[in-house]
A and B are shown apart, each in its own frame.
Chain A
Amino acid sequence: MTNHVNAAQLNEVTNGKEKALHDSFLLQIQNIPGGESIKKCIQCGCCTGSCPVSHTMDIMPREVIGLFRAGDIESILSSRTIWICASCYGCTVRCPQGVKVTDIMYALKRLAIENKIFPKRFPVHALSNSFVNLTNLFGRSYEPGLIIAYFIRTNPLKLLGMIPLFIKLMSKGRIGLLPKRIQRHKKFSRILDEAKIMEMIVPAQE
């Protein structure tokens, strides 16, 4: 795995916390096919220009790569940017250097969650959490449960505003009243437990 990313080649970060973040980020992007391409960024800004939501971000996609290389991951993690990214891959396919910008955003989200560094009010993370909990429970996603769990965690009042849409979709048979559970649910849970252990294991460096 060492041939993927060479930390020393990227930059030297010596400060304690930043170094820890830096190292775990490098571990995260090791699993991305082509993840090492982050080294080749030429700061041209094609990613920012292609992004349909960059105008609502506080740090532009180009700056995300730049800040990482300048050794300031903490600023990135506490920005709204990584949570606003809608994962459309527009930046990834247009990058002239083949930088996997969207996958890097994912790696940063994972890193932010692991280290509990969030911007103030971070609704996307709450949605992620609700989604993960429901999927663990049923093996399937359950849309109404997801929306309800999400708004309860963020802004329960907004749930009221969703009622007209719920009724409309319900009348068209587009909302399941009860969640569906997969049949081999117990075995699915066992897979998840094993996967959780695997999540913590990092392969030994070759």
Chain B
Amino acid sequence: MKYAYYPGCSLEASAKGYDESTRFVFNALDLELEDIEDWNCCGATYYMSTKETISLVISARNLALAEKQGLDIVAPCSSCYTILYKTNDILKNNPVMKAKVNQALRKDGLSYNLTTNVRHPLEVLVNDIGIEAIASKAQYQLSGMKIAHYYGCQIVRPDRGLDDKENPVMMDLLFEALGAENIYFPMKVRCCGGMLMTTYPHVALDLNKDILACALENEANCILTTCPLCQLNLEAYQDKINKRFKTRFRMPILFFTQALGLALGGSPRELGLNRNLVPLAATELGRRN
């Protein structure tokens, strides 16, 4: 099976490990990812919040490019996924907006006819390949991992039927089949604050502290995420959180594809695990004071 791959801007920089591990996992499962030719920024949350028509146009340019390739889009970044999905939804429901968007896209010889589906790699793996088939290809059991599955907010919400919006289980089921232990983690869809870490850091640090504490108290030894921003907030700001709240978190935060890649026989380097700030091997997991 073949998909149009939309890495998005963060997978080329701060979430490079997500890009490397996604490509590895898809390759290991004989799925082809064809990069969308000359893709542009999806516009992200902030573009959407300021100029509506323009944000829909730049987002739709990617949908149009994928349509030209005749493939469904796979977008690992939760935010890109949400934005592209939402753009598709708006254009499907609003012919006037669709006409305006196409009018603009024509300047680059493009047009969009609503045939592209926007999908997230987690859902593609679980639905198109299947958990059993993935488990049968695993070379290692993840029996040492005690995982807090952190879905974040953008892949299950707003409700688009991908999984339960309050208690999604896709990742849980996948990693259970791979031999990992899933811990009780009621914060699985709690918001990490996203860009509030830059604009209102005291609010975001508090949110991330709660998520880390919940994982630690339930004895997780790593958190898996599906989102570049969740990963960055939870991982890179642990020092600041520890300083502010007098905690001693040292929790490895992995992209779910990195953990899946390990089961499929990938080396830490192939999966970009060397780029993580808190190494997975850290056995001395922090304790709250």
Spell out A's residues near B (CB within 8 Å): 1, 28, 31-33, 52-53, 56, 83-84, 86-90, 92-93, 100, 102, 106, 109-110, 113, 123-124, 127-129, 131-132, 135, 138-143, 147, 150, 164-165, 168-169, 172-176, 180, 182-184, 187-188, 190-196, 198-199, 201, 203
Contacts and interface: CB of A to CB of B under 8 A. Distances in A.
Max chain B Cβ within 10 angstroms of own Cβ: one of A87, A140, A168: A87
Contacts of A201: 100
Contacts of B61: 188, 191
B236 interface: yes
Contact of B200 (A84, A141, A172, A194): A84
Contacts of A56: 200, 203
Given A140-B41, A169-B236, A198 B57 contact: yes
Interface stretch (B45-53, B115-123, B244-252): B45-53
Given A53-B207, A123-B200, A172-B275, 19 more contacts: A33-B94, A52-B207, A53-B191, A53-B203, A56-B203, A88-B157, A90-B157, A93-B159, A109-B50, A124-B199, A132-B47, A141-B10, A165-B236, A174-B14, A183-B38, A184-B38, A190-B108, A191-B105, A192-B104
B266 interface: no
B9 A87 contact: no
A191 B200 contact: no
Contacts of A33: 89-90, 93-94
B175 interface: no
Nearest to A4: B94
B57 A192 contact: yes
B268 to A, nearest CB: 13
B12 A180 contact: yes
A187 B108 contact: yes
Contacts of A194: 57, 103-104, 106-107
Nearest to B276: A172
Contacts of A203: 96
Nearest to A204: B96
Contacts, number: 189
B39 interface: yes
A86 B195 contact: yes
A95 B104 CA distance: 35
B190 interface: yes
A38 to B, nearest CB: 15
A92 B82 CA distance: 14
A33 B97 CA distance: 12
Contact of A173 (B16, B54, B204): B16
Contacts of B196: 53, 84, 86
Interface residues of B, number: 69
Contact of B46 (A88, A132, A184): A132
A92 B153 CA distance: 12
Given A131-B46, A140-B40, A143-B10, A110 B108 contact: no
A136 to B, nearest CB: 9
A122 B83 CA distance: 24
A129 B49 CA distance: 10
Top-4 shortest CB links A-B: A88-B191, A89-B157, A88-B153, A141-B9
Interface string B144-188: 000000000110011100000110000000000000000000000
Contacts of A90: 153, 157, 189, 191
B76 interface: no
Contacts of B154: 88-89
Given A31-B97, A53-B203, A168 B13 contact: no
A88 B41 CA distance: 20
B158 A191 contact: no
B261 interface: no
A86 B12 contact: no
A58 to B, nearest CB: 13
B274 interface: yes
Contacts of B100: 195, 198, 201
B13 A191 contact: no
Contact of B194 (A87, A92, A93, A135): A87
B12 A191 contact: no
A174 B52 CA distance: 30
A26 B143 CA distance: 54
Nearest to B236: A165
Contact of A199 (B12, B13, B53, B191): B53
